[in-house]
Chain A
């Protein structure tokens, strides 16, 4: 598909020409959307949970919006509430993947990893379809500095394995310093496919 134009349509919408996501060159993030991501991550890390939310110090969600040629504009952030990582068959799946690809850290494998609840995910996809928005990425937070990666603003090898062929951007939110969150965007969580994610307000610096 590289190089060609594709047709995409939401529910009840006419088709529109779009460039494949792997050819996107920039992601524009309104400051209000960035604040939603940061707010979600900080709330979870502070142990404040909303009803129906898995109680764990992790935050992740979906990023949706519109595309104008090679630029994506983030219009909606959809925090995901539920984590099915410890339910079967997801537990067996994730335990196997962790053992195979995760880098050991001070957090045991059994306490690492997350998987979105498919029913919640489908509801989010349906909602975005109805609103004519593309779900073009997911975000998740990294907290713990590693010896060889003090900022943790890049995907882990495990992130890359899990995002392979996902056709989504992975937005990695670093909160190693919770007062100075930062975020970078990588197509399919591949370090070679980073795309600048830029906050759309002059007083805020480019974040990638």
Chain B
């Protein structure tokens, strides 16, 4: 048992665990919508667009989180505005915008003469999360939980039947907008823990695992949250003892959970049916 407890007796590991758990919760809460509304691509795009924000923030001495948040929210608003009233057909347009922004970020950062920030943004560095950052991360988690709790029935309806939603006076575009902004905030905090490249995995994998386990949206969200917290904890533990990057360890644990759920489901569906 000390194998489990020993790392988390260290203050910096506690901060890391708190960050990973909070981020995991945010990602899992939104994950259901990301998976079922097919927003994984947009999640990835939002992650990429934070880079120029980080670059400019670094060069102007402003907090990197602030820069990333500004860029992410700006892009969310832009995407929301560009694709209103339609199911996403702008894959190409969004693909061009976000890769363009990412490349701009790379150029800006290259002028700073160091590759350290790029590596941290791409791969995440949960050990670099300060207690100050924890406030932002925690705030985002609370905001998401509150928004989803308050808006859950309208969000659900607007997700599968936007026409009926509009007919009864619930504007699906505005709700989509809210979802995009929440997604941008989650992505910014997730980047700090698992890095830009793996952020989508954190958004999608726990929710996908939950979808294998239950068919109800509300229950799936709870399961996703559980898987996410579990992955954060075990992932950090493995990263400590096996000396592997923590972001990757967390994601791999989540993927393993998905594999287990998938295998269990496969076995059940192939089990022989006994007839009376």
Q: Do A and B come from one complex?
A: no
